[in-house]
Amino acid sequence: MTFDQAMFNIYQRAKDETGYTATIFLGMISDRGGLPTAKTLINSPKPSDGYTALYELGRLDLTVEAMVLETSEWYELFTDDELKRARRRLQQYGYQVRSLEA
């Protein structure tokens, strides 16, 4: 699976499993590609509206941050700072990352 496919997959899972349609997220993936979208979201000073919606639904496992940290094959695509930023955001919202430390 490519990173773009993984990004589309979390969009589809959020839609199928929670009923949340992340239209802006899908547009970003389509327009920019998966990796630039992930980097934009992770490096944003505040969580996206989609992140907040998934938090409210109790599904932070479907966020870009969780996908990146819980799939070691994606680590090399991100800087150490980006991985730390993603981990910190998830921890601030009470999510326990299900992976080895990045």
Closest CA to 11 of 24, 1, 2: 24
Could you tell me the two tokens for 75? 């680590």
* Band of pLDDT at residue 101, cut at 50, 70 and 90: very low
Q: Which domain holds residue 20?
A: 3-92
pLDDT digits (tens, 9 = 90+) for 36-88: 999 999 999 999 999 999 999 999 999 999 999 999 999 999 999 999 999 99
Within a domain: 101: no
Within a domain: 99: no
Within a domain: 31: yes
Number of domains the chain is built from: 1
Within a domain: 52: yes
What pTM did the predictor assign?
Answer: 0.93
Within a domain: 61: yes
Within a domain: 98: no
Give the whole-angstrom CA distance, residue 37 versus residue 95.
21
Within a domain: 100: no
Q: Does residue 23 sit in helix, strand or coil?
A: helix
